[in-house]
Amino acid sequence: MPRLKKKLFEDEAVEEKPTSKRKQQPSTPKNKRTKKKNPATPRKKLTTPVKVKEENPRVQLKSCPKTELFKVIEATDINYYLHNSEDIFILKQTEIKSLILNDKDVIRISNSIVKETNGVKEIILPAMSSVSQINETIDVPFPEEKVLSGTVGFKSDNKIFINTRKGIVMITNKQEDFDPIRTHSYQFYFIEENKYKGKFTTQHSFYRDIADVEFSLDNQDFVVKNIKSKEVDSYHYIEGSLIECAYLKNESVYNEDKTLWGVFKVLDKHSNKILDVSMVHEAFNFFKIDFEAVEKGDFKRLRELIDKYFSERENRTTVRFLVKVTMRKATADKQVVVYGIQKLL
């Protein structure tokens, strides 16, 4: 029973409530569960990786401490084109302002640096270099193997095909004033080359007539009888008759221009076999058909024009094809691609 405090008054008594030293915690509802919060993980600071600039593998520098003799091939308003006994070089006129050189002049250069870009070499003269002109007559042997010598066998819109003693060489012409005449023989200087573009002309490219009047390499010398036996990526001529067009289109997946491409049947003159050849855009100039008037993707109209051409028997005469041997990646089979067509006289 609860104790009664001492009466303060006669008629009053107070009930003493039991006290507890332990403080009661408020009850938590059973259906609520508190999740323990994990401390937030600090975010890592994003850093942009610094790209290390790689050196251009097509440009090389080489020091030449020894003294060498150079002969001027040609002097222009901007550059001197020189050769020693081993190679040909470009020397800017700003490198030697104290001298005025002419064709066939000979100079002596020491402590120079050669900068090579895509096979074209330029002479750079540091402060320690010395240049002097030789007034006496000195013979500097010309390095014939460093220039491209041959006869122009075929030309298209921007390509020049040169017959050389080692085969047919294609040059992509990027200079409007570089225009050699077909069937003429030349020495071509400063033709650059890399594995992606092949050989191509630059602002330094020029050509000169070959002095030997007997030097001439005719297209007939490069006609082959078994084209499929030739190496991949090599150029040759074959002779035969265009029989029919198997496929023709005027659009490309690589650009938005109207680009002609087709597959043709050719009767080879020497093997008497029918070859399937593909034809690039430039080769269609042979047909003298206004393909430009045909809307892009209008294959029906293209077919009408080419069928009309082959309907005339005289158009199936024997011609000479400039071809390249390629390889189909999917099957590893050799293919023949036509780059140009010539009428036989």
**Gap between the Cα atoms of 114 and 119, Å rounded:** 11
Which residue type occupies 133? Q
DSSP 8-state secondary structure symbol assigned to residue 303: H
pTM (2 d.p.): 0.77
Radius of gyration of the chain (CA): 41
CA dihedral 177, 178, 183, 189 (to 10 degrees): 150
- What is the token pair recorded at 129? 């270099």
Instruction: Find the length of the chain.
Output: 345
Q: Which residues share a beta bridge with 166?
A: none
Per-residue pLDDT of the chain (345 residues; tens, 9 = 90+): 455 555 544 455 555 555 555 555 555 555 555 555 566 555 544 444 444 444 454 788 998 888 999 999 999 999 999 999 999 999 999 999 889 999 999 999 999 999 998 889 999 999 999 999 998 888 899 999 999 999 999 999 899 999 999 999 999 999 989 999 999 999 999 999 888 889 999 999 999 999 787 788 999 999 999 999 999 999 999 999 999 999 999 988 777 788 999 999 999 998 899 999 999 999 999 998 999 999 999 999 999 999 999 999 989 889 999 999 999 888 889 999 999 999 987
- What is the token pair recorded at 295? 């809307």
Name 326's Cβ contacts closer than 8 Å, sequence gap at least 6.
232, 233, 334, 335, 336, 337
- Closest by CA position to 110, among listed 149, 70, 157, 153: 70
- What is the token pair recorded at 60? 């090389």
- What is the token pair recorded at 155? 């030309």
Domains and CATH numbers, the chain: 59-142 (2.40.50.140), 147-209 (2.40.50), 223-343 (2.40.50.140)
- What is the token pair recorded at 291? 């393909």
**Gap between the Cα atoms of 329 and 44, Å rounded:** 47
CA dihedral 193, 198, 204, 207 (to 10 degrees): 110
